[in-house]
Structure 1
Amino acid sequence: MANIIVAQLLYLDVVDPQKDIVMYVNSPGGSVTAGMAIFDVMRHIRPDVSTVCVGLAASMGAFLLSAGTKGKWYSLPNSRVMIHQPLCGAEGGQTDIDIQVKSYSIYHERSEPVDPPSPTRQFNPKTAAPFFKEIFYVSYL
Protein backbone atom coordinates (compact mmCIF):
# COMPACT_ATOMS: atom_id res chain seq x y z
CA MET A 1 0.00 0.00 0.00
CA ALA A 2 2.79 2.48 0.87
CA ASN A 3 4.43 1.94 -2.52
CA ILE A 4 1.16 2.84 -4.25
CA ILE A 5 0.77 6.02 -2.17
CA VAL A 6 4.40 7.00 -2.83
CA ALA A 7 3.93 6.43 -6.57
CA GLN A 8 0.69 8.46 -6.61
CA LEU A 9 2.29 11.38 -4.76
CA LEU A 10 5.25 11.41 -7.15
CA TYR A 11 2.91 11.20 -10.16
CA LEU A 12 0.76 14.11 -8.93
CA ASP A 13 3.93 16.14 -8.38
CA VAL A 14 4.93 15.62 -12.02
CA VAL A 15 1.44 16.26 -13.44
CA ASP A 16 0.92 19.63 -11.72
CA PRO A 17 3.51 20.80 -9.17
CA GLN A 18 1.43 23.91 -8.38
CA LYS A 19 -1.79 22.10 -7.43
CA ASP A 20 -2.33 21.08 -3.80
CA ILE A 21 -2.69 17.37 -3.11
CA VAL A 22 -5.43 16.21 -0.73
CA MET A 23 -4.65 13.00 1.13
CA TYR A 24 -7.50 11.32 3.01
CA VAL A 25 -6.33 9.32 6.03
CA ASN A 26 -8.36 6.42 7.45
CA SER A 27 -5.74 4.18 9.01
CA PRO A 28 -5.24 2.13 12.17
CA GLY A 29 -1.49 2.60 11.70
CA GLY A 30 1.11 0.15 10.54
CA SER A 31 4.72 -0.19 9.53
CA VAL A 32 7.08 2.56 10.68
CA THR A 33 9.29 2.01 7.63
CA ALA A 34 6.37 2.26 5.19
CA GLY A 35 5.00 5.32 6.97
CA MET A 36 8.37 7.07 6.91
CA ALA A 37 8.62 6.40 3.16
CA ILE A 38 5.30 8.22 2.66
CA PHE A 39 6.41 10.99 5.04
CA ASP A 40 9.68 11.51 3.16
CA VAL A 41 7.87 11.78 -0.18
CA MET A 42 5.31 14.21 1.30
CA ARG A 43 8.25 16.43 2.29
CA HIS A 44 10.08 15.91 -1.02
CA ILE A 45 7.37 16.85 -3.51
CA ARG A 46 6.63 20.44 -4.51
CA PRO A 47 2.84 20.68 -3.98
CA ASP A 48 1.37 21.32 -0.55
CA VAL A 49 -0.19 18.18 0.91
CA SER A 50 -3.48 18.76 2.69
CA THR A 51 -4.45 15.90 5.00
CA VAL A 52 -8.00 15.01 6.03
CA CYS A 53 -8.92 12.45 8.70
CA VAL A 54 -11.96 10.39 7.74
CA GLY A 55 -12.81 7.75 10.33
CA LEU A 56 -9.65 6.87 12.25
CA ALA A 57 -6.07 8.08 12.13
CA ALA A 58 -4.14 6.04 14.68
CA SER A 59 -0.45 5.48 15.28
CA MET A 60 1.43 5.97 11.98
CA GLY A 61 -1.84 7.14 10.42
CA ALA A 62 -1.95 10.02 12.94
CA PHE A 63 1.71 10.79 12.28
CA LEU A 64 1.02 11.07 8.54
CA LEU A 65 -2.10 13.15 9.22
CA SER A 66 0.06 15.64 11.13
CA ALA A 67 2.75 15.53 8.42
CA GLY A 68 0.62 17.47 5.96
CA THR A 69 1.43 21.07 5.15
CA LYS A 70 1.06 23.16 8.29
CA GLY A 71 -2.35 24.81 8.44
CA LYS A 72 -3.83 22.30 6.00
CA TRP A 73 -4.77 19.50 8.42
CA TYR A 74 -8.44 18.67 8.70
CA SER A 75 -10.65 16.20 10.50
CA LEU A 76 -14.28 15.33 9.86
CA PRO A 77 -16.62 15.79 12.85
CA ASN A 78 -16.85 12.10 13.80
CA SER A 79 -13.22 11.22 13.17
CA ARG A 80 -10.85 9.98 15.84
CA VAL A 81 -7.11 10.55 16.13
CA MET A 82 -4.81 8.47 18.34
CA ILE A 83 -1.09 9.07 18.60
CA HIS A 84 1.57 7.51 20.81
CA GLN A 85 5.32 7.23 21.06
CA PRO A 86 6.90 4.94 18.46
CA LEU A 87 6.68 1.27 19.45
CA CYS A 88 9.16 -1.39 18.41
CA GLY A 89 10.15 -4.94 19.11
CA ALA A 90 13.75 -6.08 19.14
CA GLU A 91 15.21 -9.55 18.88
CA GLY A 92 18.58 -11.15 18.35
CA GLY A 93 21.90 -10.70 20.08
CA GLN A 94 22.92 -7.67 22.12
CA THR A 95 24.53 -5.97 19.11
CA ASP A 96 21.40 -6.55 16.99
CA ILE A 97 19.18 -5.10 19.71
CA ASP A 98 21.46 -2.06 20.14
CA ILE A 99 21.27 -1.35 16.39
CA GLN A 100 17.47 -1.67 16.38
CA VAL A 101 17.11 0.60 19.43
CA LYS A 102 19.30 3.25 17.79
CA SER A 103 17.28 2.99 14.58
CA TYR A 104 13.95 3.47 16.37
CA SER A 105 15.39 6.28 18.50
CA ILE A 106 15.95 8.23 15.29
CA TYR A 107 12.27 7.77 14.36
CA HIS A 108 11.28 8.88 17.86
CA GLU A 109 13.35 12.07 17.59
CA ARG A 110 11.86 12.88 14.19
CA SER A 111 8.30 12.41 15.41
CA GLU A 112 8.39 14.89 18.31
CA PRO A 113 6.65 17.16 18.74
CA VAL A 114 3.62 16.77 16.53
CA ASP A 115 0.53 18.94 16.48
CA PRO A 116 -2.66 16.91 16.09
CA PRO A 117 -5.30 18.56 13.92
CA SER A 118 -8.26 20.09 15.69
CA PRO A 119 -11.26 21.98 14.34
CA THR A 120 -11.65 23.92 17.59
CA ARG A 121 -8.23 24.34 19.18
CA GLN A 122 -4.69 24.93 18.00
CA PHE A 123 -2.15 22.85 19.88
CA ASN A 124 1.21 24.31 20.78
CA PRO A 125 4.01 21.69 20.73
CA LYS A 126 5.34 22.87 24.10
CA THR A 127 1.99 22.70 25.89
CA ALA A 128 0.96 19.47 24.15
CA ALA A 129 4.25 17.61 24.80
CA PRO A 130 3.11 16.01 28.11
CA PHE A 131 0.23 14.31 26.30
CA PHE A 132 2.63 12.49 24.00
CA LYS A 133 4.47 10.74 26.82
CA GLU A 134 1.82 8.04 26.64
CA ILE A 135 -1.09 7.29 24.32
CA PHE A 136 -3.13 10.34 23.38
CA TYR A 137 -6.62 10.22 21.91
CA VAL A 138 -8.44 13.10 20.25
CA SER A 139 -12.14 12.75 19.60
CA TYR A 140 -14.62 15.31 18.40
CA LEU A 141 -17.75 13.41 19.45
Structure 2
Amino acid sequence: MIGGSTTSMSMSMAAYHPAVAMPLSSRSPWTRRCRTCCSANGAAYRAKIPMPPLNPNDPFLSKLASVAAASPQTILNPLPKDTPPYLDIFDPPNLMATPAQVERSVSYNEHRPRRPPPDLPSLLLHGRIVYIGMPLVPAVTELVVAELMYLQYMDPKEPIYIYINSTGTTRDDGETVGMETEGFAIYDAMMQLKNEIHTVAVGAAIGQACLLLSAGTPGRRFMMPHAKAMIQQPRIPSSGLMPASDVLIRAKEVIINRDILVKLLAKHTGNSEETVANVMKRPYYMDSTRAKEFGVIDKILWRGQEKVMADVAAPEDWDKGAGIKIVDGF
Protein backbone atom coordinates (compact mmCIF):
# COMPACT_ATOMS: atom_id res chain seq x y z
CA MET A 1 0.00 0.00 0.00
CA ILE A 2 2.77 2.29 0.89
CA GLY A 3 4.67 1.43 -2.26
CA GLY A 4 1.60 2.05 -4.34
CA SER A 5 1.04 5.43 -2.75
CA THR A 6 4.64 6.45 -3.40
CA THR A 7 4.40 5.37 -7.02
CA SER A 8 1.16 7.23 -7.57
CA MET A 9 2.61 10.40 -5.90
CA SER A 10 5.67 10.26 -8.19
CA MET A 11 3.46 9.91 -11.22
CA SER A 12 1.32 12.85 -10.12
CA MET A 13 4.46 15.03 -9.61
CA ALA A 14 5.74 13.96 -12.96
CA ALA A 15 2.44 14.94 -14.46
CA TYR A 16 2.59 18.28 -12.69
CA HIS A 17 6.28 18.94 -13.61
CA PRO A 18 6.84 17.41 -17.00
CA ALA A 19 10.25 18.98 -17.39
CA VAL A 20 11.55 17.12 -14.38
CA ALA A 21 10.13 13.69 -15.14
CA MET A 22 10.79 13.51 -18.89
CA PRO A 23 14.27 13.35 -20.47
CA LEU A 24 15.70 16.36 -22.31
CA SER A 25 15.13 14.85 -25.76
CA SER A 26 11.45 14.32 -25.06
CA ARG A 27 10.83 17.80 -23.61
CA SER A 28 8.68 20.17 -25.55
CA PRO A 29 10.04 23.33 -27.32
CA TRP A 30 8.19 25.47 -24.84
CA THR A 31 10.08 23.85 -21.97
CA ARG A 32 13.49 24.39 -23.61
CA ARG A 33 12.64 28.07 -24.35
CA CYS A 34 11.69 28.65 -20.75
CA ARG A 35 14.92 27.11 -19.57
CA THR A 36 16.95 29.46 -21.86
CA CYS A 37 15.11 32.55 -20.67
CA CYS A 38 15.72 31.66 -17.04
CA SER A 39 19.44 31.21 -17.70
CA ALA A 40 19.67 34.60 -19.45
CA ASN A 41 17.85 36.34 -16.62
CA GLY A 42 20.18 34.71 -14.12
CA ALA A 43 23.25 35.94 -15.99
CA ALA A 44 21.81 39.42 -16.20
CA TYR A 45 21.06 39.33 -12.51
CA ARG A 46 24.57 38.19 -11.69
CA ALA A 47 26.01 41.02 -13.88
CA LYS A 48 24.33 43.58 -11.66
CA ILE A 49 26.91 43.95 -8.90
CA PRO A 50 25.53 45.34 -5.70
CA MET A 51 27.50 48.52 -4.89
CA PRO A 52 27.88 49.97 -1.41
CA PRO A 53 26.95 53.60 -0.77
CA LEU A 54 29.48 55.88 -2.49
CA ASN A 55 31.06 59.04 -1.26
CA PRO A 56 30.35 61.58 -4.02
CA ASN A 57 33.54 63.48 -3.12
CA ASP A 58 35.80 60.45 -3.69
CA PRO A 59 37.08 60.67 -7.32
CA PHE A 60 38.42 57.11 -7.27
CA LEU A 61 35.12 55.45 -6.29
CA SER A 62 33.08 57.72 -8.55
CA LYS A 63 35.23 56.82 -11.53
CA LEU A 64 35.09 53.12 -10.71
CA ALA A 65 31.29 53.19 -10.29
CA SER A 66 30.75 54.94 -13.61
CA VAL A 67 32.93 52.38 -15.41
CA ALA A 68 31.10 49.49 -13.73
CA ALA A 69 27.70 50.89 -14.74
CA ALA A 70 28.72 51.54 -18.33
CA SER A 71 30.62 48.29 -19.03
CA PRO A 72 30.53 45.68 -16.28
CA GLN A 73 32.83 43.35 -18.24
CA THR A 74 35.70 45.77 -17.62
CA ILE A 75 35.44 45.01 -13.93
CA LEU A 76 34.58 41.27 -14.20
CA ASN A 77 37.22 40.21 -16.72
CA PRO A 78 40.14 38.40 -15.05
CA LEU A 79 43.44 40.29 -15.01
CA PRO A 80 46.97 38.89 -15.27
CA LYS A 81 48.64 38.23 -11.96
CA ASP A 82 51.49 40.68 -12.57
CA THR A 83 49.18 43.58 -13.53
CA PRO A 84 47.84 45.89 -10.82
CA PRO A 85 44.01 46.11 -11.02
CA TYR A 86 42.17 48.92 -12.78
CA LEU A 87 45.25 51.01 -13.67
CA ASP A 88 44.04 51.31 -17.26
CA ILE A 89 40.88 53.06 -16.08
CA PHE A 90 42.53 56.04 -14.42
CA ASP A 91 44.93 58.70 -15.66
CA PRO A 92 48.64 58.32 -14.74
CA PRO A 93 49.36 59.86 -11.34
CA ASN A 94 51.29 63.09 -10.91
CA LEU A 95 54.43 62.65 -8.84
CA MET A 96 54.65 64.85 -5.79
CA ALA A 97 57.75 66.87 -4.96
CA THR A 98 60.04 65.42 -2.34
CA PRO A 99 60.44 67.30 0.95
CA ALA A 100 63.95 68.39 -0.07
CA GLN A 101 62.61 69.94 -3.28
CA VAL A 102 59.87 71.71 -1.40
CA GLU A 103 62.40 73.05 1.07
CA ARG A 104 64.65 74.40 -1.69
CA SER A 105 61.73 75.94 -3.51
CA VAL A 106 60.82 77.90 -0.41
CA SER A 107 64.21 78.97 0.94
CA TYR A 108 67.07 78.31 -1.47
CA ASN A 109 65.49 79.07 -4.85
CA GLU A 110 64.12 82.34 -3.53
CA HIS A 111 67.59 83.93 -3.67
CA ARG A 112 69.05 81.75 -6.40
CA PRO A 113 69.86 83.49 -9.70
CA ARG A 114 67.60 82.59 -12.55
CA ARG A 115 70.59 82.05 -14.88
CA PRO A 116 73.73 79.92 -14.32
CA PRO A 117 76.73 81.79 -12.93
CA PRO A 118 79.29 83.07 -15.44
CA ASP A 119 82.72 81.52 -15.84
CA LEU A 120 85.82 82.85 -14.09
CA PRO A 121 87.14 85.01 -16.99
CA SER A 122 83.76 86.74 -17.11
CA LEU A 123 83.90 87.47 -13.38
CA LEU A 124 87.41 88.92 -13.74
CA LEU A 125 86.28 90.92 -16.75
CA HIS A 126 83.61 92.52 -14.57
CA GLY A 127 86.50 93.93 -12.49
CA ARG A 128 88.29 95.09 -15.69
CA ILE A 129 90.93 92.37 -15.28
CA VAL A 130 92.35 90.40 -18.21
CA TYR A 131 94.29 87.33 -17.11
CA ILE A 132 96.75 85.67 -19.52
CA GLY A 133 97.58 82.38 -17.87
CA MET A 134 98.43 80.18 -20.88
CA PRO A 135 100.85 80.17 -23.81
CA LEU A 136 99.84 82.51 -26.60
CA VAL A 137 97.94 80.13 -28.83
CA PRO A 138 95.23 81.39 -31.24
CA ALA A 139 92.37 80.70 -28.78
CA VAL A 140 94.06 82.77 -26.05
CA THR A 141 94.81 85.62 -28.46
CA GLU A 142 91.21 85.70 -29.64
CA LEU A 143 89.87 85.90 -26.09
CA VAL A 144 92.35 88.54 -24.89
CA VAL A 145 91.84 90.86 -27.89
CA ALA A 146 88.06 90.55 -27.56
CA GLU A 147 88.21 91.37 -23.84
CA LEU A 148 90.38 94.44 -24.45
CA MET A 149 88.02 95.75 -27.11
CA TYR A 150 85.01 95.12 -24.88
CA LEU A 151 86.52 96.94 -21.89
CA GLN A 152 87.32 99.97 -24.02
CA TYR A 153 83.78 99.95 -25.35
CA MET A 154 82.35 99.82 -21.83
CA ASP A 155 84.47 102.68 -20.49
CA PRO A 156 87.34 104.30 -22.46
CA LYS A 157 88.61 106.18 -19.40
CA GLU A 158 88.91 103.54 -16.70
CA PRO A 159 92.22 101.59 -16.59
CA ILE A 160 92.55 97.99 -17.70
CA TYR A 161 94.57 95.49 -15.62
CA ILE A 162 96.45 92.73 -17.45
CA TYR A 163 97.85 89.94 -15.28
CA ILE A 164 100.47 87.85 -17.09
CA ASN A 165 101.63 84.32 -16.30
CA SER A 166 102.60 82.95 -19.70
CA THR A 167 105.50 81.34 -21.51
CA GLY A 168 104.72 83.27 -24.69
CA THR A 169 104.59 81.40 -27.97
CA THR A 170 106.71 78.54 -26.58
CA ARG A 171 106.36 76.06 -23.75
CA ASP A 172 108.68 75.97 -20.78
CA ASP A 173 110.82 73.35 -22.56
CA GLY A 174 111.24 75.62 -25.61
CA GLU A 175 108.84 73.85 -27.98
CA THR A 176 106.96 76.25 -30.22
CA VAL A 177 103.19 76.23 -29.72
CA GLY A 178 102.16 79.40 -31.59
CA MET A 179 103.35 81.89 -34.16
CA GLU A 180 105.02 85.13 -33.13
CA THR A 181 102.09 87.00 -34.66
CA GLU A 182 99.93 85.89 -31.72
CA GLY A 183 101.94 88.12 -29.37
CA PHE A 184 102.08 90.95 -31.91
CA ALA A 185 98.27 90.82 -32.26
CA ILE A 186 97.77 91.42 -28.51
CA TYR A 187 100.48 94.09 -28.54
CA ASP A 188 98.81 96.00 -31.39
CA ALA A 189 95.45 95.80 -29.61
CA MET A 190 97.03 97.27 -26.47
CA MET A 191 98.56 100.11 -28.44
CA GLN A 192 95.20 100.99 -30.00
CA LEU A 193 93.38 101.34 -26.69
CA LYS A 194 92.59 104.71 -25.18
CA ASN A 195 92.65 103.33 -21.64
CA GLU A 196 95.57 103.17 -19.28
CA ILE A 197 96.93 99.62 -19.19
CA HIS A 198 98.37 98.30 -15.94
CA THR A 199 100.46 95.18 -16.50
CA VAL A 200 101.36 92.82 -13.65
CA ALA A 201 103.67 89.79 -13.97
CA VAL A 202 102.75 86.85 -11.76
CA GLY A 203 104.77 83.67 -12.15
CA ALA A 204 106.49 84.08 -15.51
CA ALA A 205 106.59 86.42 -18.48
CA ILE A 206 108.69 84.78 -21.19
CA GLY A 207 109.34 85.86 -24.75
CA GLN A 208 106.30 87.58 -26.23
CA ALA A 209 104.70 87.70 -22.77
CA CYS A 210 107.65 89.80 -21.57
CA LEU A 211 106.98 92.21 -24.44
CA LEU A 212 103.35 92.55 -23.31
CA LEU A 213 104.54 93.19 -19.75
CA SER A 214 106.84 96.02 -20.85
CA ALA A 215 104.17 97.49 -23.18
CA GLY A 216 101.99 98.75 -20.33
CA THR A 217 101.49 102.40 -19.55
CA PRO A 218 104.78 103.92 -18.27
CA GLY A 219 104.75 103.98 -14.48
CA ARG A 220 102.03 101.28 -14.40
CA ARG A 221 104.12 98.20 -15.08
CA PHE A 222 104.46 95.93 -12.04
CA MET A 223 105.95 92.60 -11.09
CA MET A 224 105.47 90.28 -8.16
CA PRO A 225 108.55 89.77 -5.98
CA HIS A 226 109.22 86.18 -7.04
CA ALA A 227 108.06 86.36 -10.64
CA LYS A 228 110.46 85.76 -13.53
CA ALA A 229 110.87 87.50 -16.86
CA MET A 230 112.85 86.23 -19.81
CA ILE A 231 113.56 87.42 -23.35
CA GLN A 232 114.81 85.16 -26.09
CA GLN A 233 114.97 84.92 -29.84
CA PRO A 234 111.99 83.49 -31.72
CA ARG A 235 112.27 79.82 -32.65
CA ILE A 236 111.57 78.04 -35.92
CA PRO A 237 108.68 75.57 -35.69
CA SER A 238 109.29 71.94 -36.46
CA SER A 239 110.27 71.58 -40.13
CA GLY A 240 111.14 67.91 -40.49
CA LEU A 241 108.82 67.33 -43.47
CA MET A 242 109.49 70.63 -45.24
CA PRO A 243 111.70 70.96 -48.30
CA ALA A 244 114.88 73.00 -48.01
CA SER A 245 113.39 76.00 -49.80
CA ASP A 246 110.49 76.20 -47.34
CA VAL A 247 112.84 75.93 -44.38
CA LEU A 248 114.80 78.89 -45.73
CA ILE A 249 111.59 80.93 -46.07
CA ARG A 250 110.63 80.10 -42.50
CA ALA A 251 114.10 81.07 -41.26
CA LYS A 252 113.88 84.46 -42.97
CA GLU A 253 110.47 85.10 -41.39
CA VAL A 254 111.80 84.23 -37.94
CA ILE A 255 114.68 86.68 -38.40
CA ILE A 256 112.20 89.42 -39.33
CA ASN A 257 110.15 88.67 -36.20
CA ARG A 258 113.32 88.77 -34.11
CA ASP A 259 114.23 92.23 -35.42
CA ILE A 260 110.71 93.51 -34.71
CA LEU A 261 110.87 92.10 -31.18
CA VAL A 262 114.23 93.79 -30.58
CA LYS A 263 112.91 97.17 -31.71
CA LEU A 264 109.79 96.96 -29.55
CA LEU A 265 111.68 95.85 -26.44
CA ALA A 266 114.23 98.63 -26.93
CA LYS A 267 111.38 101.14 -27.27
CA HIS A 268 109.61 100.12 -24.04
CA THR A 269 112.64 99.35 -21.88
CA GLY A 270 114.66 102.44 -22.80
CA ASN A 271 117.69 100.42 -23.92
CA SER A 272 119.42 100.54 -27.28
CA GLU A 273 118.68 97.95 -29.92
CA GLU A 274 122.26 96.70 -29.72
CA THR A 275 121.93 96.08 -25.97
CA VAL A 276 118.68 94.18 -26.39
CA ALA A 277 120.06 92.18 -29.32
CA ASN A 278 123.15 91.20 -27.33
CA VAL A 279 121.26 89.95 -24.30
CA MET A 280 118.80 88.08 -26.54
CA LYS A 281 121.50 85.96 -28.14
CA ARG A 282 120.87 83.48 -25.36
CA PRO A 283 117.85 83.21 -23.03
CA TYR A 284 118.10 86.15 -20.63
CA TYR A 285 116.34 85.53 -17.31
CA MET A 286 115.47 88.39 -14.97
CA ASP A 287 114.10 88.40 -11.47
CA SER A 288 112.00 91.31 -10.32
CA THR A 289 114.99 93.45 -9.33
CA ARG A 290 116.91 92.85 -12.57
CA ALA A 291 113.74 93.38 -14.63
CA LYS A 292 113.30 96.76 -12.97
CA GLU A 293 116.92 97.68 -13.70
CA PHE A 294 116.55 96.58 -17.33
CA GLY A 295 113.43 98.70 -17.74
CA VAL A 296 110.85 95.94 -18.23
CA ILE A 297 108.85 97.10 -15.19
CA ASP A 298 108.58 100.23 -13.06
CA LYS A 299 107.83 98.84 -9.64
CA ILE A 300 107.94 95.64 -7.59
CA LEU A 301 104.74 94.85 -5.71
CA TRP A 302 106.08 94.17 -2.22
CA ARG A 303 103.38 94.04 0.41
CA GLY A 304 103.82 97.09 2.65
CA GLN A 305 106.80 98.36 0.66
CA GLU A 306 105.58 101.97 0.69
CA LYS A 307 105.32 102.04 4.47
CA VAL A 308 108.77 100.47 4.91
CA MET A 309 110.41 103.00 2.60
CA ALA A 310 108.59 105.89 4.27
CA ASP A 311 109.95 104.85 7.68
CA VAL A 312 113.57 104.81 6.48
CA ALA A 313 115.52 107.81 7.82
CA ALA A 314 117.43 110.13 5.52
CA PRO A 315 121.29 109.83 5.34
CA GLU A 316 121.73 113.13 7.22
CA ASP A 317 119.60 111.83 10.07
CA TRP A 318 121.67 108.65 10.19
CA ASP A 319 124.90 110.71 10.41
CA LYS A 320 123.46 112.96 13.07
CA GLY A 321 122.26 110.03 15.14
CA ALA A 322 125.64 108.34 14.85
CA GLY A 323 127.46 111.48 16.05
CA ILE A 324 129.29 112.10 12.76
CA LYS A 325 130.16 115.73 12.18
CA ILE A 326 130.53 116.92 8.62
CA VAL A 327 133.49 119.26 8.04
CA ASP A 328 132.75 122.08 5.63
CA GLY A 329 136.17 121.86 4.01
CA PHE A 330 135.63 118.36 2.70
Cα deviation 1:81-107 (Å, max 9, x = unaligned)? 111111123632233223322322222
Cα deviation 1:51-103 (Å, max 9, x = unaligned)? 11011111222122122233321101111111111112363223322332232
Q: Measured at CA, do residues 102 and 71 of structure 1 come closer, stay the same or move farther in structure 2, by a change above 3 Å? A: farther
Cα deviation 1:103-124 (Å, max 9, x = unaligned)? 2222212111426x9xxxxx64
Matches within 5 A, 1:58-77: 58-77=206-225
What is the SS of the residue equivalent to 1:125? coil
RMSD, matched Cα: 2.3
Question: Which is strand-richer, 1 or 2?
Answer: 1
What is the SS of the residue equivalent to 1:56? strand
Q: Which residue of 1 aligns with 2:258?
A: 108
Q: Which residue of 1 aligns with 2:185?
A: 37
Letter in 2 for 1:40: D
Contact 1:90 1:97 in 2 (8 A): no
- Please point out which of 229, 240, 244 is paired with 1:94: 244
1:9 aligned to 2:148? yes
Shift of 1:128: 4.1
Q: Which residue of 2 aligns with 1:125?
A: 271
More displaced 10-residue stretch of structure 1: 65-74 or 75-84: 65-74
Q: Which residue of 1 aligns with 2:199?
A: 51
Shift of 1:36: 1.8
Higher relative contact order, structure no. (Cα contacts within 8 Å, ≥ 6 residues apart): 1
Q: Measured at CA, do residues 27 and 128 of structure 1 come closer, stay the same or move farther in structure 2, by a change above 3 Å? A: same
Ranges in structure 2 where 5+ consecutive residues have no aligned partner: 1-139, 170-177, 290-330
CA distance in structure 1 between the aligned counterparts of 2:217 and 2:245, rounded to whole angstroms: 38
Pairs aligned (count): 135
TM norm structure 1:
0.81
Ranges in structure 1 where 5+ consecutive residues have no aligned partner: 118-122
Q: Which residue of 1 aligns with 2:286?
A: 138
Bigger Rg, which one = 2
Shift of 1:4: 0.7
Q: Which runs of at least 4 in structure 1 moved beyond 4 Å after TM superposition?
A: none
CA distance in structure 2 between the aligned counterparts of 1:94 and 1:62, rounded to whole angstroms: 32
TM norm structure 2:
0.37
Contact 1:18 1:47 in 2 (8 A): yes
